[in-house]
Structure 1
Amino acid sequence: MPMKRFVAVSLAAATLGVLAVGSAGAADTAAAPKKRVEVLELKVENLQYESVDVGAAGPSQGDMNAFSGTTSRDGRIVGLGGGTCEVVRIEGDKQTSQCVITARLEKGSLTMQALWERGAPELEMAITGGTGVYKGASGTASYWDIATPDERIRAEIVR
């Protein structure tokens, strides 16, 4: 089954939870600003998907999937984005891809990346940065039920 996956998150969804996190060292607490963690849980809808086979017929290193779609919360669309997954390793029946996603949000964008084994039902991605209010963001984004109508994401964004 071709992998279809997309994530986007929205500030509107941040109402699901916000937690303040401080510095671990007491001496650093006064000097270091506190960071916020926004926890977002959203449904993913894949709208466009394309698979490109660059080598011989069948799986090969360099094959790529490109995808885009929306996310929603309570039936309302709250984000748009897309990305690519490129096969970087084949070992027997196992295919590992490097996946990169950009999520466009109301007040900025987030970027995410991870290695993913094709067919795995879950994926945890690193949040690698952002723009706007998400400038300098980090954290994780976890996906379940990838490439199904029940696909969803939980993002923990540190900024």
Structure 2
Amino acid sequence: MTVALYPGRFDPVTNGHIDIVQRAAHIFDTVVVGVALSRSAIFTLEERIEMMNEALHGVENVRVSSIEGLTVDSAKACGATVIVRGLRVADFTYEFDMALMNRNMAPDVESVYMMTALDHLFVSATRIRELAGFGRDVSEFVPAGVNEAIHKKFVQPS
């Protein structure tokens, strides 16, 4: 049985994140979505876990949990032998360096990269936060429940 860890801050969860998880769920027996602890996140750890769980409702072989510390240590802790990452062109150098470091620390944990789907290529959680901060509609880039959470977090009552 192959367990894969898909780590990230997911602040907020985007349709691109969900696409990667769903595709990974077709390849691996179990996918653990590791929501990373982050002091600078807009949403709390609990909110991000809840958003991810809601967006992945019905995907049977996926579970969501919190992670902290080094990704390779989190992979080992949850029994994962694979770390899944989404990859956009701009991410390549960072991800390549990280994969080499992870391989050095944990040779038994493999890094697998999934190319971002074309319709999510320009979407990032950073851009979503930026757009939401300016009051822009982000509903086409995030799951419905996440859009509601963003609206509550960013839209000020009149």
Give the TM-score normalised by structure 1. Answer: 0.26
Larger Rg: 1
RCO comparison, higher one (Cα < 8 Å, 6+): 2
Normalized per residue, the structure richer in strand is 1
Normalized per residue, the structure richer in helix is 2
